[in-house]
Structure 1
């Protein structure tokens, strides 16, 4: 957790405080970026932009309780990931489903180790991965996702369902089904 005194120092423009914040939050936020973009270079670029914006706007941050700074900078990072994805001209956000999708129990997803799930999420097509991350990992509602991505709530729900189905297919293909 980032301590209030560190945030106050960063608000004053103290580079050592900003460096300490980066050192503490850089790796988890980098991993968050990787869940969206898959490419290490792009994730580093997004992370750099997110931290720059956070330190630029830190004077607007109001400390509420433990974890509020982390939530604030995480939101900035997610928004930067989404803006990056929107700028990608050759990668549509929403993709069409495979018509031959096998229906399996969701318990397979629930029983995977977190590292296995992270690696599987990276295998999702971009549109599925984005909505899966926003809903299942970041905790956004379908309404919030629809607003952020400029899609309907129904599309968000549909893409999440397709993402889960796609993940189940990958689990079965790779033999990672711990639920059996």
Structure 2
């Protein structure tokens, strides 16, 4: 796919280019959506919302950095908007948890699919923070700003997500 040409044609409203862009990036963006949504139906909704935003905001893309990275941010923000609307963090769980504990070495034996399935089983708040921190690489400070929670809450949610994952792994083995 000639990315620059497709983007330019999408900006002009060319339906064939839009279809091409969608078909090329949908599988990758679906992976992002599934990590945040937790199930395929909700992920499908996020995928559609994300592409609507991509197509409506395409003129904002200035070809600085990768197009896929630009799209990924849009999809993450769509997921976070949905989570905020559902007020996932209305019941904030504060507490001191040692976030430096290690995930057991058994993680090395898990497949990526097994790990993703376990992440999908996490409560939505834990799953969101876990995805943002462990997978997307945001800092707890950035996560706090994105989700309108404290940095400490982000750390706590991440630590609890890890504890849940560790418990799931213990039950598997």
**TM-score in same-fold range (> 0.5):** yes
Hey, what's the Cα distance between the residues in 2 that align with 1:85 and 1:33?
12
Unaligned runs of 5+ in 2: none
* Deviation string, structure 1 residues 134-176 (Cα, Å, up to 9, x no partner): 111111111210100011112112211221121011001122x
Cα distance 1:37–1:137, how it changes in 2: closer, same or farther (>3 A)?
A: same
Match of 1:31 in 2: 31
CA contact (8 A) 1:85 1:93 kept: no
CA contact (8 A) 1:2 1:69 kept: no
Cα distance 1:115–1:90, how it changes in 2: closer, same or farther (>3 A)?
A: closer
CA contact (8 A) 1:132 1:160 kept: yes
* Deviation string, structure 1 residues 40-85 (Cα, Å, up to 9, x no partner): 22211111111011100101101135xx110111111111111111
* Deviation string, structure 1 residues 77-106 (Cα, Å, up to 9, x no partner): 111111111222577574578x9xxx6644
- The equivalent position to 1:113 in structure 2, one of 111, 117, 124, is 111
- The equivalent position to 2:157 in structure 1, one of 140, 159, 171, is 159
CA contact (8 A) 2:126 2:158 kept: yes
Which of the pair is proportionally richer in helix?
2
CA contact (8 A) 2:50 2:75 kept: yes
**Helix, strand or coil: the match of 1:131?**
helix
Match of 1:141 in 2: 139
Please give the residue correspondences for 1:1-180 in structure 2 after superposition, counting only pairs within 5 Å. Answer: 3-65=3-65, 68-89=66-87, 92=90, 94-95=92-93, 105-175=103-173
Hey, what's the Cα distance between the residues in 1 that align with 2:54 and 2:167?
38
Hey, what's the Cα distance between the residues in 1 that align with 2:148 and 2:137?
18
Hey, what's the Cα distance between the residues in 2 that align with 1:93 and 1:33?
24
CA contact (8 A) 2:38 2:124 kept: no
Hey, what's the Cα distance between the residues in 2 that align with 1:2 and 1:49?
24
TM-score of the superposition, structure 1-length normalised? 0.83
**Helix, strand or coil: the match of 1:6?**
helix
CA contact (8 A) 1:86 1:93 kept: no
Q: CA deviation at 1:4?
A: 1.8
CA contact (8 A) 2:88 2:124 kept: no
